[in-house]
Structure 1
Amino acid sequence: MNQQSDDNYLTTAEVARRLNVQPATIYAYVSRGQLTSVRARGKRGSLFAKEEVERLAGRKVEHPGVVERIETELTLLQNDELYYRGRPVRELATTSTVEQVAHLLWTGELAKQEPFPAPADQVELARSAIQVAPPTARMTDQLRIAVAVLGAGDALRFSLAPESVISAARRLIGVLVDSLPGETAQGSLGTRLWPKLSNEPPQPAVLDAALILLADHGLAVSTLAARVAASARSNLYSVVSAGLGALDGHYHGAATTLAYKFLDRALHDPVGALSDQLRSGEPLPGFGHRIYQQRDPRAEVLFELLPDSPVLQSVQAIVKEVPGFPNSDLALAAMMHAYGLRPDTGEALFAIARIIGWTAHALEEYAEPGLRFRAAGIYTGPPIT
């Protein structure tokens, strides 16, 4: 490469200054095909075409409008199927571990992974924080408290390098699970969670499958909240806290609890419970979906894993009378009743699983222009006087 062509290229440091990002982000752009790196003859490091850098910089111009479309390589919902990085979630839920699927979403690689670590001192810190909560606190309340305290205790939380974020996410999930009240177990994430949720004989494979199925679902409201936080360059703990806050709404995370309560009534009289629900004028919990048209693949996988029991028979009796299709909320509710899990299990599983997805979205957002979410407010107040 001669001097004249060198003038048309920038070094990694120069690109980082031009785009106002960390050098590690430059290589994230390369891996995603947004920048192309070349080697200079007789020199170390990579070079990048000025024209390509300026084109990417053009996307970084601040504007007062809304970012209406978010490019993501993570999750695809198409033809009533769900895919993580192009792989069918139906298959992942029964052939991979939670740790493997998390690594797939975070890095694009599906490979054998060690269990999420749970350092004893951090587990003790989280448990101490959880004990402050009142007895009426749900598991999701305990998780929110623990995340805030663990974040405050991590002096390196402000490192947004991908390897630092992934390491923190692995540790956070492991510590959260082990710090919840109940016995501590070894094994898969589902095995570690089971004694926190039920006194029945363990069925961890069902929990592992549920965690995989719930890990991500595109740009749901909690995921969007997490990405907005990541856009402000909030650390992982703050990103997760933002997601947990949105998840707590009764239109989002609480949907599984509503389905659980409905199914509890239906176990004794399916048609009677359905009649009462229809008479109330309220939506039928656990049926239909904003995106899926004819079936929810997550629900189908979970129902296939459940044993034939009065719970499943009640669900089938309700489905026969309803024109819509059961969704993952009803499937989770059926799982909870079938195995005697805590009534707040659905929300907790949803929260723990979705931390995997929020982390993946944060990693993507850290590689985008900062503070790119800026809604245009339309003033409707009194006129200027």
Structure 2
Amino acid sequence: MDGELTTEQVADYLGVQIQTVYAYVSRGVLTPVRKEPGTGSLFRLEDVQERAGGGRGGRRTSRPATSDDVRTAITEITSGSLAYRGVDIRALAGSASYEQVRDLLTGGQGTSGAPTQAEQQALAALMAALPEQTAQLDRFKHAVLVGATTDPGRQDRRATALARAGRRAAYLMALTLPDASLAPAAQPTLAGTLATALAPERAELIDAALVLLADHDLAVSTTAVRVAISSGADVYSALLAGLAAADSPHHIAASLQANDWLATAVRDPHEVLDVALAAERPPPGFGHLVYTEQDPRAQVLLDLLEPRCAPAEWAAVMTVEQELLERRGWVLNVDLAMALLVRALGMPRDAGPAIFACARTAGWTAHALEELAEPAMRFRLRGVYSGRRRPVGES
């Protein structure tokens, strides 16, 4: 090989997954020399060889990272697409309900899992006892604990029981929102339940957002869930592990930062562009570890939101998106799209992370089910000691 390599060729040369190449680009480890329509990014062979550390000798010989060993049939991500079990999300959002997508991800395991009246009362009593300033994601964690303590089958790790527990936890989480109640229907929906508290007339948009956020491959929170299940934990404990990892400004809570940034952007797009273009890192709601061309979740949600946005606000967002993409290659991601959803529907500031976390219970449950088929305790990183070593005989 000589000259320039495509992303696929770089992955083959280095012996890594394509997603790893995208991560190298996002961290500045590799820099594309140019992009070609229909081909994508092109890289200099010399840069790739330097990354390989083997000169012109070829591939790296180091052992693959642990994450390279995790095989999954749930979700596939490329530089500009996302699919659940082979079905592109563009074909799902707006046409399939969240419950149908949850069934697709989990293989249709379990029943509706809606909590009983007694369980709802136990949850309400706990919420009333919490300090008023308790953050929403902390309320979600307490809701999962209520689910665990009121479920007599908590330790049942059969697929059907695990899937039902995941659904039940999602409803309990949604019911912690102020004024939330199960939608009056024979089979309540998660979107309908969330809508009672967030946007009663816009359940269909919330449902679409839930579909788009249902899973995202081995995100850090999903990995935490799989590690917990591998260790023998019950599904509620695994969901708590997922929530703990997700409760971060780098993960689900990122939409809060995007929400605040968006308020400034729609007021004065040129001011935020001046600040963003002078910075080394993308602003909240832009850039992504994997998506280098576009975040398909964001694009689908933007298409649904355009008719509901004020024209001046929509124009401001489009201006900022175009300029940052052309000048820095920073794609608008789903965090900003969720912030725009919150703004367009007049929802509370923390509605974005709430919808995100409830949605992700489907993916977490699906990965928990998949992990059941793997050997127990398979996640064991090996530490490389780098501390002080005492000479023999030193006390």
Q: Which residue of structure 2 lines up, in the alignment, with residue 83 of structure 1?
A: 83
The partner residue of 1:313 within 312, 315, 321 is 315
DSSP 3-state at the match of 1:262: helix
Q: CA deviation at 1:207?
A: 0.5
Aligned partner of 1:29 in structure 2 is none
TM (normalized to structure 1)? 0.77
Q: Pairwise mapping of residues 115-154 of structure 1 onto structure 2 (< 5 A)?
A: 117-154=114-151
Check whether the contact 1:191–1:202 (CA below 8 A) recurs between aligned residues.
Answer: no
What TM-score, normalized by structure 2, do the two folds share? 0.75
Tell me the amino acid that sits aligned with residue 197 of structure 1: L
Hey, what does 2:347 align to over in structure 1? 341
Tell me the distance in 1 between the aligned counterparts of 2:303 and 2:114.
31
The one-letter code sitting in structure 1 at the alignment partner of 2:300 is: V
Q: For residues 163 and 268 of structure 2, what CA distance do their matches in structure 1 show?
A: 47
Structure 1 position 280, deviation (Å): 6.2
Q: Which position in structure 2 is the counterpart of 1:378?
A: 384
Contact 1:223 1:358 in 2 (8 A): yes
8 Å CA contact 1:311–1:337 kept in 2: the answer is no
Structure 1 Cα separation of the partners of residues 145 and 111 of structure 2? 25
The question of 1:331 aligning with 2:337 is answered yes
Q: CA deviation at 1:183?
A: 4.0
CA distance, structure 2, for counterparts of residue 314 and residue 234 of structure 1: 47
C-alpha distance in 1 between matches for 2:72 and 2:112: 27
Deviation at 1:115, TM superposition (A): 5.5
Taking only aligned residues, the RMSD between alpha carbons, in angstroms, comes to: 2.0
Instruction: Identify the residue that residue 19 of structure 1 maps to in structure 2.
Output: none
Maintained 8 Å contact 1:332/1:346 = yes
Matches within 5 A, 1:1-385: 66=66, 68-107=68-107, 117-184=114-181, 185-186=183-184, 188-198=189-199, 202-279=201-278, 283-306=282-305, 307-309=308-310, 310-323=312-325, 324-384=330-390, 385=394
Cα deviation, 1:7-54, whole Å, max 9, x if unaligned, reads xxxxxxxxxxxxxxxxxxxxxxxxxxxxxxxxxxxxxxxxxxxxxxxx
Contact 1:228 1:373 in 2 (8 A): yes
What is the letter of the counterpart of residue 223 of structure 1? T
Distance 2:228 2:84 in 1: 23
Which 5+ residue runs of structure 1 have no aligned equivalent?
Answer: 1-64
- Structure 2 counterpart of 1:233, which letter? G
Aligned residues: 316
For 1:114 and 1:167, the matched residues in 2 are separated by 6
Q: Which amino acid aligns with 1:215?
A: A
User: For residues 348 and 85 of structure 1, what CA distance do their matches in structure 2 show?
Assistant: 25
Kindly state the Cα deviation for residue 277 of structure 1 after the two structures are TM-superposed. Answer: 4.3
Alpha carbons 1:117, 1:174 under 8 Å: kept? yes
The superposition leaves residues 288-322 of structure 1 with CA deviations (integer Å, 9 ceiling, x where unpaired) of 21111211110111001112424322211211321
Cα distance, 1:360–1:300 mapped onto 2, change above 3 Å: same
Q: Is the 8 A contact 1:216 1:356 kept in 2?
A: yes
- Write out per-residue CA displacement over residues 322-356 of structure 1, whole angstroms, 9 at most, x where no aligned residue: 12221111110111111111101111111111111
Checking the alignment, whether the CA contact within 8 Å between 2:75 and 2:217 is kept in structure 1 is yes
Q: Which residue of 2 aligns with 1:56?
A: none
Using the alignment, how far apart are the partners of 2:139 and 2:103 within structure 1?
A: 25
Q: Deviations over 1:270-298 (max 9, x none)?
A: 21133244556653111121111211110
- Cα 1:215/1:168, change in 2 over 3 Å: same
Q: Which amino acid aligns with 1:262?
A: W
Gaps of 5+ in 2: 1-64
Quick check: 1:227–1:361 contact (8 Å CA) kept in 2? yes
**Residues in 2 aligned to 1:299 and 1:158: alpha-carbon distance in whole angstroms:** 38
Tell me if the contact between 1:194 and 1:203 (Cα under 8 Å) persists in the aligned partners: yes
C-alpha deviation, 1:108, in angstroms: 6.4
2:253–2:353 contact (8 Å) kept in structure 1: yes
Name 1:58's counterpart in structure 2.
none
**Residues 1:214 and 1:126: Cα distance change in structure 2 (over 3 Å):** same
How far is 1:118 from its partner?
2.6
Q: In the aligned structure 1, how far is the partner of 2:146 from the partner of 2:172? A: 12
Identical counterparts, % of pairs: 37
1:267 partner amino acid: V
Between the aligned partners of 1:269 and 1:114, the Cα distance in structure 2 is: 49
Within 1, Cα distance between the matches of 2:78 and 2:68?
Answer: 19
Equivalence for 1:6: none
**Matched residues in 1 for 2:263 and 2:235: separation?**
37
Q: 1:365 to 1:115 in 2, by over 3 A?
A: closer
Runs of 4 or more consecutive aligned structure 1 residues displaced over 6 Å after TM superposition: none
C-alpha displacement of 1:364: 0.8
User: Helix, strand or coil: the match of 2:76?
Assistant: strand
Measure the CA separation in 2 of the matches of 1:140 and 1:249.
10
Change (3 A) 1:149 1:115: closer
Question: Hey, what's the Cα distance between the residues in 2 that align with 1:271 and 1:120?
Answer: 52
Q: Which amino acid aligns with 1:362?
A: A
Q: Kindly indicate whether the alpha-carbon contact (under 8 Å) linking 1:85 and 1:108 is maintained by their aligned counterparts in 2.
A: no
